[in-house]
């Protein structure tokens, strides 16, 4: 059976991930992501109304025109988790393919919401839920299957999809850390990865996320971040002024730790900001978390400001607002607080907890710097980096290569500079660049079996 891999997006950047695997006549697409920084750099761009080709020209979504060089039918579009760099282009590209979108329950719900917000295209692809551990027959040949393996990442319900073919398995390994004690959900299923490495013809190709390949050691578990947060919040338990926290809205495990520790401190947690309401509300509705009944979630500007007024009236010392704005995004809640645009008044000595790390990218670094300065000018004290990464470091990469023993390795989710440490690491495991280690660019097709 002929096997091709089309590296469509995310091979020259972090963002706009998209990869297609062709097995004989059948094609499976992994991810259709957005490169948000290419959108944010322009003022007032509303992607909801924009055409795909303009977004492709901006470098915001994958240039999927290479798909016409793959001879076969797309049978499934498979987003691996709900981060925008993996699902953000579905509303712009999926309607061009006559195939269902297949994803885990939380991811499919986020995809559904995104499609509902789309104003340019009618996206009518079937939305099909599939859980980790399940298999799906692909096409009519009877010998291609799709499997989801449970992984741990900074968003719940993340999976690594595997396409089983007679030539071996193709494992799409993007976005995970090896977490044996995640705060929500099951540990990463390393047993299954080891089995896949040893059954049938083994693993033909492994596509790997190189984000932290240059960092030594192992990415700590989410329970480490939780412990760090508990330590910080415990240390300011007796403070009788304002405490405000921010984190990734989609990081449900972290939000739920913040809610829990706020309660322990005797403060009322309130989730504020459009995306806080969206992700936490969705996670609660689907049963991934069970927040205490009195946790308020407010997204719209008016209801947020009303809540801030209530907090000021009833006393800041009784509340813990959990807000958007961990990267200093200009329109996010914390940035507005820093600019003094909300009814919430910061006083000398008030605490602001960043349960996030700045995404190392000039736009984010600049915006976050500005946000911290503005908060500081009002007297706020900053606690930063209460966080662990969602991506594998060196030792995790070694463990994956040991588990899967792939015949071919394809580094992804980085630019050329970001690939370099992974190439060195893979070379130490015996892979040779240009032979079985394929460094590539957006828009290429790697022919693995002719």
- Name the residues that contact Zn ion, by CB under 5 A: 83, 175
Token code pair at residue 208: 């790997």
* Least distance to Zn ion, CB of residue 267, Å: 30
CB-wise, 223 or 389, nearer to Zn ion? 389
* Least distance to Zn ion, CB of residue 176, Å: 9
Any idea what DSSP says for residue 65?
Answer: G
CB-wise, 83 or 438, nearer to Zn ion? 83
* Least distance to Zn ion, CB of residue 80, Å: 8
* Least distance to Zn ion, CB of residue 230, Å: 25
Direct distance between the N- and C-terminal alpha carbons of the chain, in angstroms, rounded to an integer: 8
CB-wise, 22 or 251, nearer to Zn ion? 251
Token code pair at residue 115: 């499609």
Please report, to the nearest 10 degrees, the dihedral formed by the alpha carbons of residues 247, 386, 104, 116 taken in order.
Answer: 10
Q: Which helix (H) or strand (E) holds 421?
A: helix 416-428
Hey, is 248 helix, strand or coil? coil
Could you tell me if 440 and 423 are in contact, meaning their C-beta atoms sit under 8 angstroms apart?
A: no
Q: For residue 131, how many other CB atoms are within 10 A of its CB? A: 11
CB-wise, 211 or 342, nearer to Zn ion? 211
CB-wise, 75 or 152, nearer to Zn ion? 152
Phi and psi at residue 204, to the nearest 5°: -75, -45
* Least distance to Zn ion, CB of residue 66, Å: 23
d(CA 42, CA 51): 16
* Least distance to Zn ion, CB of residue 85, Å: 7
Closest CA to 21 of 129, 210, 147: 147
Contacts (Cβ under 8 Å, ≥6 apart) of 434: none
Tell the residue number behind the tokens 């892979």, with chain if given. 431
Closest CA to 358 of 337, 328, 381, 322: 328
CB-wise, 211 or 307, nearer to Zn ion? 211
Contacts (Cβ under 8 Å, ≥6 apart) of 112: 127
* Least distance to Zn ion, CB of residue 207, Å: 14
CB-wise, 83 or 336, nearer to Zn ion? 83
CB-wise, 109 or 175, nearer to Zn ion? 175
d(CA 282, CA 90): 19
Largest CA distance in the chain: 71
Q: Which helix (H) or strand (E) holds 201?
A: none
* Least distance to Zn ion, CB of residue 390, Å: 6
CB-wise, 83 or 228, nearer to Zn ion? 83
* Least distance to Zn ion, CB of residue 79, Å: 10
């Amino acid at each position: 059976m002929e096997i091709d891999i089309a590296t469509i997006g995310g091979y020259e950047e972090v963002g706009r991930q998209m990869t297609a695997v062709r097995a004989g006549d059948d094609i499976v697409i992994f991810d259709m992501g957005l490169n948000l920084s290419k959108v944010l750099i322009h003022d007032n761009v509303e992607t909801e109304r924009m055409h795909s080709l303009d977004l492709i020209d901006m470098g915001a979504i994958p240039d999927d025109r290479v798909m016409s060089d793959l001879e076969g039918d797309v049978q499934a579009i498979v987003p691996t988790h709900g981060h925008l760099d993996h699902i953000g282009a579905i509303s712009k590209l999926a309607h061009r393919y006559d195939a269902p979108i297949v994803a885990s329950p939380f991811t499919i719900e986020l995809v559904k919401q995104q499609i509902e917000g789309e104003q340019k295209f009618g996206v009518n692809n079937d939305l099909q839920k599939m859980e980790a551990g399940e298999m799906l027959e692909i096409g009519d040949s009877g010998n291609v299957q799709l499997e989801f393996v449970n992984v741990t990442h900074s968003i719940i319900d993340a999976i690594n999809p595997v396409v089983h073919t007679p030539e071996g398995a193709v494992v799409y390994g993007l976005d995970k850390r090896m977490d044996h004690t995640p705060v929500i959900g099951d540990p990463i299923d390393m047993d299954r990865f080891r089995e896949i490495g040893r059954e049938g013809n083994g693993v033909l190709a492994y596509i790997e996320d190189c984000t932290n390949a240059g960092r030594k050691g192992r990415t700590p578990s989410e329970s480490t971040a939780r412990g760090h947060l508990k330590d910080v919040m415990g240390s300011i338990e007796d403070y009788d002024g304002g405490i405000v926290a921010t984190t990734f809205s989609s990081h449900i495990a972290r939000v739920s730790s913040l809610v829990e520790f706020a309660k322990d401190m005797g403060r009322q947690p309130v989730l504020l900001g459009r995306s806080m309401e969206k992700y936490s509300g969705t996670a609660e509705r689907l049963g991934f978390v069970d927040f205490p009944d009195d946790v308020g979630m407010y997204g719209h500007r008016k209801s947020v400001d009303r809540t801030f007024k209530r907090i000021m009236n009833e006393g800041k010392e009784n509340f813990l607002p959990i807000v958007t704005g961990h990267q200093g995004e200009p329109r996010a809640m914390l940035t507005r607080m820093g600019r003094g645009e909300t009814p919430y008044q910061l006083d000398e000595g008030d605490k602001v907890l960043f349960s996030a790390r700045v995404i190392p990218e000039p736009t984010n670094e600049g915006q976050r710097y500005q946000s911290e300065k503005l908060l500081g000018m009002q007297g706020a004290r900053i606690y930063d980096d209460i966080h662990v990464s969602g991506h594998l470091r060196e030792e995790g990469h070694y463990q994956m290569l040991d588990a899967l023993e792939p015949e071919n390795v394809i580094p992804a989710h980085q630019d050329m500079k970001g690939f370099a440490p992974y190439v060195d690491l893979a070379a130490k495991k015996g892979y040779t660049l240009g032979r079985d280690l394929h460094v590539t660019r957006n828009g290429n097709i790697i022919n693995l079996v002719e």
